[in-house]
Chain A
Amino acid sequence: MRPARGAGRPHPSWALPAVLFFGLFALVPMVLAFGLSFTTWNGLGEPRPAGLANWHALLTDGRLTRSLTVTVALTAVSCAFQTTTALLLGVWAAGPQRNRAVLSAVFFVPFLLSSTAVSLLFYALLDPNFGIVPGDTLGTTSGAFLALVFVGGWQFIPFHTLIYQGGARQIPEVLYQAAAIDGAGRLRRFRSITLPQLRNTAATSGVLMVVGSLTYFETVLILTQGGPGTDTAILPYLMYESGFKAYDFGYASAIATFLVVAATALSLLLVRVTGFGAMRSTREGM
Chain B
Amino acid sequence: MTRPANPLAGLGALVWLAVVLVPVYVMLSVSLTRQDEALGANALRPPRHPTLANYGTVLDNGFGHFLANTVLVAAVVVGIVLVLCVPLAYVAVRTRGFWSGAAFRLFLLGVAVPAQAVVVPLYLMITKLHLYDSLLAVALPTAAFAMPVSVLVLTGTLRDVPEELYEAMALDGASPARMLFRLVVPLARGGIGTVVVYASLQAWNGFLFPLIFTQSEDSRVLTLGLFTYVSQFGVDIPALLASVVLSGVPVFAVYLVARRTLVGGLMGAGGK
Contacts and interface: CB of A to CB of B under 8 A. Distances in A.
5 contacts: A8-B179, A15-B87, A21-B80, A270-B111, A276-B271
Contacts of B212: 244
A92 B143 CA distance: 36
A59 B114 CA distance: 21
B68 to A, nearest CB: 16
B230 A125 contact: no
A22 B64 CA distance: 31
Which of B116, B121, B159, B212 has the most chain A CB atoms inside 10 A of its CB?
B116
Contact of A236 (B103, B105, B114): B114
Q: Which 6 A-B pairs have the closest CB atoms?
A: A267-B112, A32-B121, A25-B144, A29-B118, A236-B116, A18-B84
B117 to A, nearest CB: 4
Contacts, number: 331
Contacts of B122: 25, 29
Nearest to A267: B112
A199 interface: no
A222 interface: yes
Interface of B: 1-6, 9-10, 12-13, 16-17, 19-24, 26-27, 30, 38-40, 43-44, 80, 83-85, 87-88, 90-97, 99-100, 103, 105-114, 116-125, 140-141, 143-145, 147-148, 151-152, 156-157, 159-160, 163, 166-167, 169-170, 174-177, 179-180, 204-205, 207-208, 212, 222-224, 226-227, 229-230, 235, 237, 240-241, 243-244, 247-248, 251-252, 255, 259, 263, 266-267, 270-272
A257 B114 CA distance: 11
Given A10-B91, A120-B244, A263 B105 contact: no
Contacts of B109: 264, 267-268
B13 A89 contact: yes
B103 A18 contact: yes
Interface in A234-269: 235-236, 239-240, 243-244, 249, 252-253, 256-257, 259-260, 263-264, 266-268
Contact of A22 (B26, B147, B255): B147
B252 to A, nearest CB: 5
B228 to A, nearest CB: 11
Contacts of A25: 122, 140-141, 143-145
A251 B13 CA distance: 46
Interface string A1-20: 01011111111101101110
Nearest to A43: B123
B3 A96 contact: yes
Nearest to B176: A10
B121 A253 contact: yes
B247 A113 contact: yes
User: Size range of the interface on A?
Assistant: 35 or more
Contacts of B30: 124
A22 B6 contact: no
A142 interface: no
A282 B160 CA distance: 7
A16 B177 CA distance: 15
B43 to A, nearest CB: 5
B149 to A, nearest CB: 10
A78 B208 CA distance: 22
A102 B1 CA distance: 18
A96 B96 contact: no
B113 A274 contact: no
A29 B90 contact: no
Contact of A92 (B12, B90, B118): B12
Contacts of B229: 120
A21 B223 contact: no
Contact of B88 (A4, A19, A89, A109): A19
